[in-house]
Structure 1
Amino acid sequence: MEVPKDYGGAGRAIQGQIYTLGAVGYKPKVPTDPLALAFAASTKMTPEAYWYVAGSAGMQRTAEANVTAFERYQIVPHMLRDVRERSMATNVLGTQMPAPVMFAPIGVLEMAHVQAEVAVAKAASSLGVPMVISTQGSRPMEETAASLGPAPMWYQLYWSNNNELMRSLVTRAEKAGAQAIVVTLDTHTVGWRTRDLDLGFLPFAKGMGLAQYFSDPVFLEIVKKRVENPPPRDPSLPAPRPTLAGISTLWSQASHFPGNTLANLLSGYPRAAVDAFLDVFPCSGIKWTDLDLIKSVTKLPIILKGIQTASDAELALQYGVSGIVVSNHGGRQVDGAIASIDALEVVARELEGRIPIIFDSGIRSGADVFKALALGANAVFVGRPWLYGLAIDGADGAKAVMERIIAELDLTMALAGVKTLADINRQCIRRTEPAGGAKL
């Protein structure tokens, strides 16, 4: 089946397929209701894996606010408009999309499905929808890119404290076919994630989600030097006693590192690699002026992910980036932060269309996409929902979730009386309470 170049008008067909199968006794394997979708995924994943994905910072207030804040924005339908022909195709920074949705960058996808990014790439390829590959991937970016085929690819970068490693990752991404580099700003250190802390679970300690590093020549050289010149052990710390959990962790590290698992165990490289990652990952010292460094590495558009204030949006313009992502990392970093959709309203008003805005954090439906577009987003990242679909039914599950979000967006456009994305504007929604006068 040929991938559509424009999903405008496809909503009824996608909806109709579900009803047609239902008429002969086949209900959707992947639920369409967001709450049912999350619950179904929780039954397919380990508690550690599920809460790593579903959990957020602190008391989970930001994650909850991301979703509930959409209730403040109400769609205002307009009648007697000829909406028989609709268009959802768009172009963001040279990336052609059949609908304004993208597979958000999510790391450690092996926790949801054994094929990890490769399965998501197959889903994205079958839909023609762009995929943003994470630095914390479970498969090397080159392997994922090969599975994407002609579907567009962006690369999300966590800026490490080793600039040579940053250069290597960006260069690899460009060579693999990335059309933009998305620099995540809000995770220069990991937030206080209570679900993970209570489970004592950090996937990277087990070697999970480190495929980009373990396949990178610069990082492997860092590991080699660490093995040859190991850092001195802190004498104030007691020598760890071997435990079953510790043995399991060592085996996981060895199986994730390139090469023979048993040989890796004896070499000491996998543990050194995990320790090296934990050393290079945090980079809380990057500044606006450092953006010149990444711009010197690549000619691809640079997009900043994590913008939440008008002042930072203005600085992004001043420092010459190509676009921004309004995001609070799905609530995973700061507990009690502003809901991302509220931040979008403020940021879009400041930018006035001068650079593209991608919206992220809180999208659960096509109606949510409509609201984000009405508030000034050019496209949206969808995250947790498709990951839940991936956990339930692999590539087909991830595809089903994204396809249905696109279908609901198309039907929402029709029912709201708009034909094109350009018609979705601030007049299509109303806010049920004042936005507030303070400039964030």
Structure 2
Amino acid sequence: MFRSGQGDAEMSLICLSDFEAYAKDHLPKATWEYYAAGADECCTRDDNLLAFKRIRLRPRMLRDVSVMDTRTTVLGTEISCPIGIAPTAFHCLAWPDGEMSTARAAESLNLCYVASTYSTCSVEEIVTAAPDGFRWFQLYVYRDRKLSEQLVHRVEALGFKALVLTVDVPYTGKRRSDIRNNFRLPPHLKVKNFEGVFEEHYGPDNYGVPANTLDPSISWKDVYWLRSLTRLPIIIKGILTKEDAELAVEHGVQGIIVSNHGGRQLDGELATIDALSEIVDAVQGRIEVYIDGGIRTGSDVLKALALGAKCVFIGRPIVWGLAYKGEEGVKGVLQILTEEFRLSMALSGCRNVSEINRNLVQFSKL
């Protein structure tokens, strides 16, 4: 349990929704709404949460759960729990040290941190802050391909272990609150991985970089182009259908993150947990499958693993933890979720991650 001093009263933070309430109360309105935003009517954002509630657990009893083990591996690297940090932008809006605090928290708990291209700390600063951390790097493809190439070479040289290619943003979704708030990074913050690149730009801005910087012509052939640049494993983030999962395997990637960008892109598309099973079935164990979107409790983690995910990644809750107390808050979020997952495993009769399987779940209409 984590306590936040608030005058004479103290608030106990015992679940992720407590961190959410704290962040909403303490962040500036425009910052909170940037993090919370979904596209259009936010149906997909909200359904990411609701979809988990439509899944019921089928626990097994008398299984001797006196000894528990939450360890697993992703791409051959052992982590302490199948929970990772999804790529989210602009952590310095929530806490001065931003992504450096996030990286230190992940390192201390031996969990995977996917650093965002749109970080407000540079990849070099992130590595310096947590030199022994296990990190992947999230990448976009830009019209100026040299921007992407330079980032790939930088992160490979810095010891990042994989590239996470985000494929669901040929254009940025319509986030109404950001439009109403005229959301902009404050002058003291920058997209640090592009520091100095856009100094002469004075035109319209799109989340810290010039508008129309992303390349909407990105296609499957660009996976081959990316593979030609690096020896790092490539994971595709943003897949929601078995057809695209099969194409990902054909194009030689090492993993898929089932993701709808937190409901921030195409409103009305599938909730990620609803898309997971068909993707797992499509790849038939040839590559690893992960998931983000809507994970708020340890039982959510258990449900995702039962449906075939190798690991889950959380985004918004990490920012809520930062808003509470930087590294300490992020660790609090991750520790609470890990302990909830351990308890959910035990109460379901699973002693280790390998015992979690599809027989543990069934879908139910609410």
> Is the 1:110–1:209 contact (alpha carbons within 8 Å) kept by the matching residues of 2?
no
Within a 5 Å distance, the mapping from 1:191-210 to structure 2 comes to 191-203=173-185, 208-210=189-191
Aligned AA (2:194): Y
SS in 2 for 1:110: helix
2:152 is the counterpart of 1:170 = yes
Cα offset, 1:188, TM superposition: 2.4
Give the structure-1-normalised TM-score.
Answer: 0.78
2:311 is the counterpart of 1:379 = yes
Deviations 1:51-86 (A, max 9, x none): 000111011100100000001111111100011122
Which entry has the higher C-alpha Rg, 1 or 2?
Answer: 1
Q: Which residue of 1 aligns with 2:269?
A: 337
SS in 2 for 1:114: coil
Q: Which of 211, 232, 248 is matched with 1:300 structurally?
A: 232
How far apart in 1 are the matches of 2:9 and 2:240?
40
> Is the 2:104–2:133 contact (alpha carbons within 8 Å) kept by the matching residues of 1?
no
Within a 5 Å distance, the mapping from 1:58-207 to structure 2 comes to 58-203=40-185
Structure 1 residues 272-281 or 284-293, which shifts more? 272-281
Within a 5 Å distance, the mapping from 1:356-375 to structure 2 comes to 356-375=288-307
Deviations 1:39-61 (A, max 9, x none): 21012211111000011101110
> Is the 2:15–2:336 contact (alpha carbons within 8 Å) kept by the matching residues of 1?
no
> Is the 1:129–1:152 contact (alpha carbons within 8 Å) kept by the matching residues of 2?
yes
Q: Which of 333, 340, 348 is matched with 1:408 structurally?
A: 340
> Is the 1:73–1:432 contact (alpha carbons within 8 Å) kept by the matching residues of 2?
yes
Cα offset, 1:29, TM superposition: 5.4
Aligned AA (1:429): V
Distance change in 2, residues 1:270/1:278 (3 Å)? closer
How far apart in 2 are the matches of 1:35 and 1:410?
19
> Is the 1:207–1:274 contact (alpha carbons within 8 Å) kept by the matching residues of 2?
no
> Is the 1:30–1:393 contact (alpha carbons within 8 Å) kept by the matching residues of 2?
no
How far apart in 2 are the matches of 1:292 and 1:56?
31
> Is the 1:95–1:179 contact (alpha carbons within 8 Å) kept by the matching residues of 2?
no
- Structure 2, unpaired ranges of 5+: none
> Is the 2:67–2:351 contact (alpha carbons within 8 Å) kept by the matching residues of 1?
yes
2:143 is the counterpart of 1:211 = no
Aligned AA (2:227): K
2:18 is the counterpart of 1:36 = yes
How far apart in 1 are the matches of 2:114 and 2:9?
31
- Structure 1, unpaired ranges of 5+: 1-17, 224-267, 435-440
Aligned AA (2:119): G
**Alignment RMSD, CA only?**
2.4
How far apart in 1 are the matches of 2:321 and 2:275?
28
Aligned pair count reads 362
2:298 is the counterpart of 1:317 = no
Going by fraction, where is helix more abundant, 1 or 2? Answer: 1
SS in 1 for 2:56: strand
Deviations 1:277-308 (A, max 9, x none): 32563211011011111101110100000000
> Is the 2:295–2:314 contact (alpha carbons within 8 Å) kept by the matching residues of 1?
yes
SS in 2 for 1:155: strand
Cα offset, 1:37, TM superposition: 2.2
Cα offset, 1:429, TM superposition: 0.9
Deviations 1:225-277 (A, max 9, x none): xxxxxxxxxxxxxxxxxxxxxxxxxxxxxxxxxxxxxxxxxxx7474796993
Cα offset, 1:163, TM superposition: 1.1
> Is the 2:84–2:111 contact (alpha carbons within 8 Å) kept by the matching residues of 1?
yes
How far apart in 2 are the matches of 1:386 and 1:163?
30
> Is the 1:30–1:397 contact (alpha carbons within 8 Å) kept by the matching residues of 2?
no
Aligned AA (1:323): G
2:27 is the counterpart of 1:45 = yes
Identity between Structure 1 and Structure 2 (%): 35
Q: Which residue of 2 aligns with 1:327?
A: 259
How far apart in 1 are the matches of 2:249 and 2:48?
25
Aligned AA (2:192): A
Aligned AA (1:212): N
Deviations 1:109-132 (A, max 9, x none): 111111110111121122121211
> Is the 1:128–1:152 contact (alpha carbons within 8 Å) kept by the matching residues of 2?
yes
> Is the 2:139–2:164 contact (alpha carbons within 8 Å) kept by the matching residues of 1?
yes
